[in-house]
Amino acid sequence: MQLDPKRWFTEICKEGGLAFSLAIKEKLHAQTTPYQHIEIYQTEAFGRLMVIDGFIMLSERDNFFYHEMMAHPVLFTHPHPRRVLIIGGGDCGTLREVLKHEGVKQVQQVEIDEQVTRLAEKYFPELCQSNNDPRAHFHFGDGLRFVAQAPANSVDVMIIDSTDPIGPAEGLFQASFYADCQRLLGDKGILVHQSESPLIHLDLLKKMRAEMKKGGFSQVRTLTYPQCVYPSGWWSATLAGHALPCFREQDAAAKNFPTRYYNVDIHRASLAIPEFLRQTEESS
């Protein structure tokens, strides 16, 4: 059976030998920016869908898994996160979650393609609810350059909310970039970077962890969570620091803001990894 491309959007994951399709009602927007091709669809079952260069970035129905797990585990791991830098994250969902933490005093977000944010404001306004928070500061430009030029010890937590390691995001997965991140974070800062599917992209995850260590981070730790519109439906984020502490369980259990997925038990469970991934950690 062939799917009608007018009624279905299909993402093909060549390295995984699989594809994922969503029934669509209509295409709402399409444009090519200087950096990438962006499409917005209205789907039958997953609400609105953002696609960049043929790859699904987010859906209304399940984006909360990703945004909550990119923000809350790292913020509840750092002892006192006040200054946060987000590289990427143009849809602003991660920013919204970060700003739920009252102790955070400043968030800088560096997105190379301003149009991603403008389209999110139009088509995913619920993700942009905190864009006018006085603690939020937007920079539209090259994240690599921003990090290279930022002063040392100026950030407590870095969140690398990037697309796949191709095109504009390729340099964000290399040791030279992680070395610049380590300089900004100093000895006590923590970085988290989305690290693809442990099942489909294991080689990339292994290389990424190695690059983090080459860049100067002495400890790395990967957590996993579901993400049904991404290849395999299983995704990960990797923490890096000099001495990653245990997360602040009491604070996470007593959080004073709403979440849809994240809680203290989910945080604890996300750190439990299968044997094949444990072997990767031990060998890196």
pLDDT above 70: residue 193: yes
Please tell me the distance from the alpha carbon of residue 251 to that of residue 130, in angstroms, as a whole number: 22
Task: Check if 187 is active-site.
Answer: no
Residue-wise burial string across 172-192, b where 16 or more C-beta atoms lie within 10 A, e elsewhere: bbbeebbbbbbbbbeeebbbb
Phi, psi of 92 (to 5 degrees): 75, 5
pLDDT above 90: residue 283: no
pLDDT tens digits, 114-154: 999 999 999 999 999 999 999 999 999 999 999 999 999 99
- Output the average pLDDT for the chain: 93
Residue 163: per-residue pLDDT = 66
Indicate whether 145 and 238 sit together in one domain.
yes
Residue 48: per-residue pLDDT = 98
Asked, for residue 2, whether it belongs to a domain, the answer is no
Asked, for residue 3, whether it belongs to a domain, the answer is no
Overall average pLDDT of the 9-31 stretch:
94
pLDDT tens digits, 243-275: 899 999 999 999 999 999 999 999 999 999 899
Indicate whether 240 and 143 sit together in one domain.
yes
Indicate whether 31 and 129 sit together in one domain.
no
pLDDT tens digits, 206-242: 999 999 999 999 999 999 999 999 999 999 999 999 9
Which CATH number does the domain housing residue 52 bear?
2.30.140.10
pLDDT above 70: residue 2: no
Indicate whether 132 and 235 sit together in one domain.
yes
Question: Residues at the annotated binding site for S-methyl-5'-thioadenosine?
Answer: 36, 111, 142-143, 168
Other CB atoms within 10 A of residue 238 CB: 21
Helix, strand, coil in percent for the chain, rounding step 5: 35, 30, 35
pLDDT-based confidence at residue 31 (cuts at 50, 70, 90): very high
pLDDT-based confidence at residue 169 (cuts at 50, 70, 90): low
Indicate whether 110 and 189 sit together in one domain.
yes
- CB-based contact 124:50 (threshold 8 Å): yes
**What proportion of the chain, given as a percentage, has pLDDT over 70?**
94
Residue 284: per-residue pLDDT = 58
- CB-based contact 236:195 (threshold 8 Å): yes
If one compares 22 and 284, the residue with the highest pLDDT of the two is 22
Asked, for residue 1, whether it belongs to a domain, the answer is no
Which of these is catalytic: 62, 113, 156, 161?
Answer: 161
Boundary residue ending a domain (59, 76, 98): 59
Domain count across the chain: 2
Per the structure, the complete domain to which residue 185 belongs is given by: 63-282
Indicate whether 277 and 210 sit together in one domain.
yes
Which CATH number does the domain housing residue 89 bear?
3.40.50.150
Residue 278: per-residue pLDDT = 83
Indicate whether 50 and 78 sit together in one domain.
no
Question: Residues at the annotated binding site?
Answer: 36, 67, 91, 111, 142-143, 161-164, 168
- CB-based contact 72:252 (threshold 8 Å): yes
Residue 280: per-residue pLDDT = 72
What is the DSSP annotation of 108-134? EEEES-HHHHHHHHHH-GGGGTTTT-T
Overall average pLDDT of the 29-49 stretch:
97
Phi, psi of 268 (to 5 degrees): -60, -45
Residue with tokens 């499409």: 39
pLDDT above 90: residue 4: no
Residue 74: per-residue pLDDT = 98
pLDDT above 70: residue 186: yes
Residue 6: per-residue pLDDT = 77
Indicate whether 162 and 248 sit together in one domain.
yes
Run of H or E including 268: helix 264-270
Q: In what order do the strands lie in the sheet with 37-43?
A: 8-13, 18-32, 37-43, 48-52, 55-59
Indicate whether 120 and 190 sit together in one domain.
yes
If one compares 283 and 80, the residue with the highest pLDDT of the two is 80
Asked, for residue 143, whether it belongs to a domain, the answer is yes
pLDDT above 60: residue 41: yes
3-state secondary structure of 45: coil
Asked, for residue 274, whether it belongs to a domain, the answer is yes
Question: Residues at the annotated binding site for spermidine?
Answer: 67, 91, 161-164
Residue 282: per-residue pLDDT = 64
Asked, for residue 251, whether it belongs to a domain, the answer is yes
